[in-house]
Amino acid sequence: MSEIKQTFNSSLGKKLIMALTGLFLCTFIIVHLGGNLLLFSNDNGFGFNVYANFLTHFPPIEVIAYLLYLSILVHALYAIILTVKNRKARPVGYAVAQKSDATWSSKNMGLLGSILFLFIVIHMSDFWFSYHNDKTMGFKEYRTDLKTGVTTDVDYNPGYAEFNKSVSVVNDVEIVRVKDLHARVVRSFSSLWYVIFYVIAMGALSFHLLHGFQSAFRTLGWVHRKYTPVVYAVGTWFFAVIIPLAFAAMPVYYFFMHRG
């Protein structure tokens, strides 16, 4: 047990924890993006509101959510510890700057991580915390004609505070009543400053993943002449380009399409 403790207290152990939590967060990002892409559906928030309800009321997902929160905190904490330790190891800079092969991303992971942590706090406060605690958040009733597939919606007042969701079928019409988180999305993304900050945060995410995804595999020792180029390609094009662009497109789309 002491050897295990010593390993995880070492620099290598801390980097291993960073790598594992980072890869877990990468997995979450993929899932989160998949759900958030429902915001582009032209259904007045129907799919997104049902998705939000599922995330917050399905027990296995709730357990994973707490693992997610823990991973974010551990990842951030160990990043701070490693950064401080590295600076203490070199308290005085070189008199002459030496040429380095390190990328801009690798040199500024602390700054990028700080921007992302601030974004996560604001983002969770605006959506997750509000979803659970804002008693003024409204509800929607979606009626889908099962014969034609046409869905209409109206505001809904459940009349009691503990209501979350109900589904029923009456005369071939499916009635879904659910909390309207989509309205919060529309309101938040109507703010230019919020949209700008969101896009900047996604830029930080891009550069953070550009270095972090590839670095995690190196830390874990998963380096192979045949597979490393694949890891680099996935880390660069999928995680550092496609995912941040898809996330950034959401606030921009809502700002221009849902104003007024």
What is the pTM assigned to this prediction?
0.86
What CATH number does the domain located at 2-92+108-137+180-257 have?
Answer: 1.20.1300.10
The type of residue at 203 is G
Edge-to-edge strands, sheet with 173-179: 151-156, 139-145, 173-179, 165-170
Q: What is the pLDDT of residue 257?
A: 86
| pLDDT tens digits along 93-133 | 554 555 556 788 888 888 898 999 999 999 999 888 888 88
Residues 227-242 as b or e (16 or more Cβ within 10 Å = b): eeeebeeebbeebbee
Q: Where is average pLDDT lowest: 108-112, 187-191, 204-208?
A: 108-112
Contacts of 110 (CB under 8 A, 6+ apart): 79, 83
Contacts of 138 (CB under 8 A, 6+ apart): 155, 156, 179, 180, 183
Q: Structural domain boundaries of the chain?
A: 2-92+108-137+180-257, 138-179
User: Nearest to residue 112, comparing CAs of 30, 195, 209?
Assistant: 209
pLDDT band at 92 (very low <50, low <70, confident <90, very high): low
Query: What would the two tokens of residue 35 be?
Result: 């759900």
Around Cβ 93, how many Cβ atoms within 10 Å? 7
Contacts of 161 (CB under 8 A, 6+ apart): 135
